[in-house]
Chain A
């Protein structure tokens, strides 16, 4: 019990990772009705590109700079350069994400406009294979890590015995930042309405002069940026490896829980799933202990509960709210 607070905070922190990744799904779904099965691979690409820029290119760049303009190189302290490198890697990763998704949009998604949604979803599944293949082709499959880590362990948050690594605070920060910017973006532009119009009926939207292509490009870009930033941050938790893409699957309960088309919902969904993962097993454990005491039984708490509990909770919530917490109920009318 004394750890409850720590569990809640950690749960929320993990939840914010889910929230960050889930947001990308919601943004893309909102205007295209497409569940992007390659979202996890976007995360993967983000992680690898950031790592490559940060770790491999840094050395080359420094070397070149130190040779060409030693005085510039000397002007900043190593800590200062570290900051510059982090910022540069960060920005370039975003740029890389944008380039990637705009190319994808142009080559793959645009020709699929107007085709059955399920076929487009299938395309994203195939896309996942391609992206994964590209990553293994370029960077091979070995585990790599940010060296030195960008978000150091020691500047984490101490909560009793638990230390929350600093990277989680950053993730929290970015999730909030994205949420606020999207809220403002949708409030002060008419893009939000256009996006939903496109999702509702592409043909009619086109008949009103809404460019489906532009809307697709915008939402895929935002979705991809969120994902690659997520990849960069998540890659700092425990290094990058080919399984980073599993986030694509693990955040599904979060997306659905929040309601597919709701960005805010994705955040709430992520946090709730995080909490379920951290409090659920504890509660089940306590319940089992109580039962054992009451009936003098010797039940054991099943293991790996945190893998299934989100799904159990998800089904339970969906039975009460079939469109998630903030999703839009489908019109049922004849």
Chain B
């Protein structure tokens, strides 16, 4: 329910949603002889859950890396809320409201959960090395405000109260994934990029994660780009699916239609239904 009073962030962008929140135009990315992306383009509408699927090595993660300006494509543009971000430095992208989680967990292993999440807020905080070191007045109030907000909104939503003082490195995989999501949420995202958030989770946790993503999308109005190999999840929660293979888009459409596409079945899904999802079919 967009606009609900409990929303942490008001839904961003025009209510009509005519202009897409994210527009990828003709991305080309080469590594030596390997074309990781060969002219991919698609749009992501405001407020949707957009899935990207495709075989291993198809270039899904590369797209996210291009959006975050971590990879620099040889050709093509990335347009976020009407602004061309193809020239920005990596760290500036975060300030615009693009947050992501990573395929191989990229948490700060030696820090506590709380510190990891606080770090997500980095781009939105003000204190510098002088005021911070003195820890008086503004810097202190700012810290306290962040702490309160993280505790009351994010940690509460993701149900990780009990581990917030733990050092991230020793947590089980599934919880680390959740902390990563929490950190991304702390970035006040308008667009949330999730790279295989359900990988390595059992059914129950996958269900939890799906619920969180839906909540974030529906209640907070955050647009989500979701890369996931669990087709059950993709089918159930996404609004639109892009299918990649060898760096090109081979299909796009509503989940049900995509799943019937013979190209997609041949390149990606295979015949064995049981392999599609942890969830019983």
Contact = CB atoms under 8 A, between A and B. Distances in A.
Interface string B67-108: 000100000000000000000000000000000001110100
A75 interface: no
B252 interface: no
B187 to A, nearest CB: 15
A334 B70 CA distance: 9
B127 interface: no
A16 B207 CA distance: 64
Contacts of A334: 65, 70, 102-104, 106
Interface residues of B, number: 6
Interface in A302-334: 334
Contacts of B70: 334
Interface string A232-254: 00000000000000000000000
Contacts of B106: 334
Contacts of B104: 334
Contacts of B102: 334
Interface residues of A, number: 1
A334 B65 CA distance: 8
A119 to B, nearest CB: 15
B157 to A, nearest CB: 25
A83 B103 CA distance: 65
Q: Is the interface of B mostly helix, strand, loop or mixed?
A: loop
A334 B105 CA distance: 9
Interface in B131-186: none
A334 B100 CA distance: 11
Contacts of B65: 334
A27 to B, nearest CB: 30
A334 B104 CA distance: 7
Interface string A250-265: 0000000000000000
A245 B70 CA distance: 44
Interface string B193-220: 0000000000000000000000000000
A133 to B, nearest CB: 35
A114 to B, nearest CB: 15
Nearest to A332: B70
Nearest to B102: A334
A334 B193 CA distance: 13
B226 to A, nearest CB: 17
Contacts of B103: 334
B83 to A, nearest CB: 23
A334 B102 CA distance: 7
A334 B66 CA distance: 11
B56 to A, nearest CB: 15
B280 to A, nearest CB: 34
B100 to A, nearest CB: 9
B99 to A, nearest CB: 14
A257 B256 CA distance: 58
Nearest to B64: A334
A334 B103 CA distance: 8
A208 B102 CA distance: 27
Interface string B95-133: 000000011101000000000000000000000000000
A9 B70 CA distance: 47
A240 to B, nearest CB: 45
A200 to B, nearest CB: 15
A217 B193 CA distance: 47
Nearest to B104: A334
B261 to A, nearest CB: 30
Interface in A72-123: none
A51 B103 CA distance: 59
A53 to B, nearest CB: 49
A334 B106 CA distance: 7
A169 B104 CA distance: 52
B225 to A, nearest CB: 15
Nearest to B103: A334
A204 to B, nearest CB: 14
A261 to B, nearest CB: 22
B64 to A, nearest CB: 9
A115 to B, nearest CB: 15
Interface in A269-321: none
Nearest to B195: A334
A116 to B, nearest CB: 11
Interface in B212-255: none
Nearest to B68: A334
A334 B71 CA distance: 10
A331 to B, nearest CB: 11
Interface of B: 65, 70, 102-104, 106
6 contacts: A334-B65, A334-B70, A334-B102, A334-B103, A334-B104, A334-B106
Which are the 6 A-B pairs with shortest beta-carbon distances?
A334-B102, A334-B106, A334-B70, A334-B65, A334-B104, A334-B103
